[in-house]
Chains A and B, each alone.
Chain A
Amino acid sequence: SQQGEEDPQALSIQEGENATMNCSYKTSINNLQWYRQNSGRGLVHLILIRSNEREKHSGRLRVTLDTSKKSSSLLITASRAADTASYFCATDSGGNNRLAFGKGNQVVVIP
């Protein structure tokens, strides 16, 4: 079942700007993960945030999680042309590592 749902908007930004995308979900989760997918390729794991965490950083990535609102955000700071990709959130709810993916946000970083 598709639980994680990003705001359905494509982002087009200039290199150096920040990119923010959101994800909402419907049921309780064990963790929420963000992935990147370049066109026609597999997924690359970016960051995982557990249900008892509120914020996590990894390099230029910052993820927040608000379990009361059942939402998460991914911030990419100082974007680069290489960040151009689709970004998906995925929730793990059942404890058996089955992931429910959101619709994805396409980000285009203009050099």
Chain B
Amino acid sequence: GAVVSQHPSWVICKSGTSVKIECRSLDFQATTMFWYRQFPKQSLMLMATSNEGSKATYEQGVEKDKFLINHASLTLSTLTVTSAHPEDSSFYICSAGRQALTYEQYFGPGTRLTVT
């Protein structure tokens, strides 16, 4: 159990367009989901915490109008990169915490975004 999926696994888009990435917990309910970005050969940077039914909490320096997060249900959170630019190219990873277990997070396989 505790599987998290992401879709798409990779996407190429043109500069100025918007891209939506989905994160789903497949076999458990996730009241909280987290979004990270990772540049090549670097660590994960937490972007925001997504709580079901409420507004996301963004980390300092992350533009909430650029990275729109919606956590509409206990199994789905979406990240929309609006007006994407080449510098937004990165590996985006989500994770989900199980409702019954407060500590362990389960990570999705990541989405590779390339903006041309």
Q: Is the CB of B43 within 8 A of A104?
A: yes
Q: Is the CB of B105 within 8 A of A88?
A: no
Residue on A nearest B91 in the bound complex, by CB: A40
Question: Given A40-B112, A42-B93, A43-B93, is A99 in contact with B105 using a C-beta cutoff of 8 Å?
Answer: yes
Tell me if B's interface is mostly helix, strand, loop or mixed: strand
Select which of B34, B46, B105, B110 is within 8 A of A41 by beta carbon. B110
Residue on B nearest A100 in the bound complex, by CB: B46
Return B47 CB to nearest CB of chain A, in Å: 11
Residue on A nearest B106 in the bound complex, by CB: A45
Q: Is the CB of A98 within 8 A of B34?
A: yes
* Interface band, chain A: 20 to 34
Question: Given A31-B103, A40-B112, A42-B107, is A88 in contact with B43 using a C-beta cutoff of 8 Å?
Answer: yes
Q: Is the CB of A2 within 8 A of B43?
A: yes
Q: Is the CB of B108 within 8 A of A42?
A: yes
Q: Is the CB of B49 within 8 A of A88?
A: no
0 or 1 for each of A71-111: is its CB under 8 Å from B? (1 = yes): 00000000000000000101010001111111110000000
